[in-house]
Copies of this chain bind each other. A is one copy, B any other.
Amino acid sequence: MATEQQATDEDDFAKDRYGVSAMVQSQERLGRTLIRVQDLTPEKANQLVWVRARMHTIRAKGKQCFLVLRQQQFNVQALVAVGDRASKQMVKFAANITKESIVDVEAVVQTVEQKIETCTQHDVELHVERIFVISQADARLPLQLEDAVRPDVGVEEEGRATVNQDTRLDNRVIDLRTTTSQAIFRLQSGVCQLFRDTLLQKGFVEIQTPKIISAASEGGANVFTVSYFKTSAYLAQSPQLYKQMCICADFDKVFCIGPVFRAEDSNTHRHLTEFVGLDIEMAFNYHYHEVLDSITDTMVEIFKGLRDRFQTEIQTVCKQYHSEPFKFLEPTLRLEYQEGVAMLRAAGVEMGDEEDLSTPNEKLLGRLVKEKYDTDFYVLDKYPLEVRPFYTMPDPHNPKYSNSYDMFMRGEEILSGAQRVHDAQLLTERASHHGIGSHSNSSCYEDFYSFRYGAPPHAGGGIGLERVTMLYLGLHNIRQTSMFPRDPKRLTP
């Protein structure tokens, strides 16, 4: 590889062994194999390997320079020491490489006598024979990675910097390099994968629904307006109507993953103006619990898959943000709304039978359920009809209730769903009861036209990806589980 040599002493015997490489411009296709940091284990002892990694920390000490090289969630100690492979100029060069630069090193893997507790690769260190800078980082970083992963113990330790959330988000690309962020978003990728794999195995079809729509859903509140050529349009607040159309179009079982937009001016730990919805809709034969079972099965498969395949990630996040392991039951606990209300009343809450749950009461109920049943996940079924949207199917046995349900993780709602009214006549009645007329501007009414051409009974629901990730990991702010979060005050980066 062509290199721009450092200006070096004429006497430097190692002058070809270090330097700043020419920009990688695809000059030639090298056959060289680069070893992953996570694969640097005692089995590789005494091998000469090439590694590309970030310069995480650098500590010069006389004729030696200790480096920590980082690659995603993993890091390894490396040593450049004056000797027959490295000159004092080379050690000085290494000591002056800026943090976060990307380097290629050629080194011998050596086992160590005492475990290196500060690195993920405890048992080995690299004895560097060549070191080249592939991409040089500015000397001044807007935040220090060590500060950004310091355990969140609730109190600030004296003399130890912490990084506040806005600094993190303003410099998100650097914040995303922390072991914690790497773990969060790898696990999040896993949530999507487990959701899809489970549903595809059950015969679901993946659909794509439009995000630009002609009429605001559900009355037009909290919707973003888009200029659309010479007219206006809106951003979809939910794919629900389109999922339902797919059911009426005989796709039988569908799911979709995509952005959902909410123009709510809510500045809380759990609201975003744009989030990722994982949505399900499914025709059933005789009872909406067929669908409810499919959804809870899917959630349980996600929880199991995360527990079994993402333990490294869970542990990594736990090091910074401690939480108890997420608990769930099989089969999933299902309580009726009235049972939930009774538990709250027994705990001193005063509320009416058909009153909706407030957020504090949801949290309290979550704690009561955890105490009684030892689960962080449960379903509350049979909500009062009046607190649900007009297209919710009434309970056949008690007209005050409905065939609808919410699901909760650690006491916070993650899914709201229901059997939908599939009968065109009842839908018209329910809409007019809610003051939604056939001439209203609501697409959620107009587009139900297709139900007149035969609609199977169906039910569904949707979860928010960021909320599920946050609550599974026991985190406390949804901005930690959105790579580039959007809220009323943040549109960048």
Contact = CB atoms under 8 A, between A and B. Distances in A.
Among A71, A135, A265, chain B packs the most CB atoms within 10 A around the CB of A135
Nearest to A30: B286
Interface in A163-195: 171-174, 176-177, 181-182, 185-186, 188-189, 192-193
A294 to B, nearest CB: 14
Given A102-B456, A484-B209, A484-B242, A177 B249 contact: yes
A48 interface: no
Contacts of A211: 211, 259, 261, 274
B393 A26 contact: yes
Nearest to A465: B208
B25 A285 contact: no
B246 A176 contact: yes
Interface stretch (A88-96, A105-113, A136-144, A330-338): A136-144
B29 A488 contact: no
Given A52-B285, A208-B276, A288-B26, A493 B447 contact: yes
A10 interface: no
B207 A189 contact: yes
Contacts of A393: 25-26
A276 B207 CA distance: 11
B134 A30 contact: no
Given A173-B248, A252-B72, A261 B136 contact: no
Interface in A340-384: none
B102 A454 contact: yes
Contact of A193 (B26, B206, B465): B206
A69 B487 CA distance: 50
Interface stretch (A119-127, A224-232, A296-304): A224-232
A135 B224 contact: no
A411 interface: no
B483 A209 contact: yes
A161 interface: no
Interface stretch (A59-67, A148-156, A418-426, A471-479): A418-426
Interface string A455-493: 111000000010000000000000000111010100111
Count chain B CB atoms within 10 A of each CB in A24, A136, A454 and give the residue with the most. A454
A210 B272 CA distance: 11
B483 A207 contact: yes
Contact of A287 (B29, B209, B231): B29
A68 to B, nearest CB: 15
Contacts of A227: 224-226
Nearest to A31: B286
A29 to B, nearest CB: 4
B24 A212 contact: no
B214 A492 contact: yes
Contact of A491 (B181, B213, B288): B213
Nearest to A447: B493
A34 interface: yes
Given A226-B235, A454-B101, A72 B250 contact: yes
A242 B274 CA distance: 15
A212 B138 contact: no
Nearest to A490: B214
A39 B177 CA distance: 51
Interface string A252-286: 10000111010101000000011010000000011
Contacts of A206: 189, 192-193
A186 to B, nearest CB: 6
Contact of A396 (B27, B200, B265, B422): B27
B226 A453 contact: no
5 contacts: A23-B423, A30-B287, A138-B452, A173-B248, A245-B484
| 10 closest A-B pairs by CB | A176-B249, A173-B450, A137-B454, A29-B287, A214-B491, A24-B457, A25-B396, A189-B206, A30-B286, A26-B287
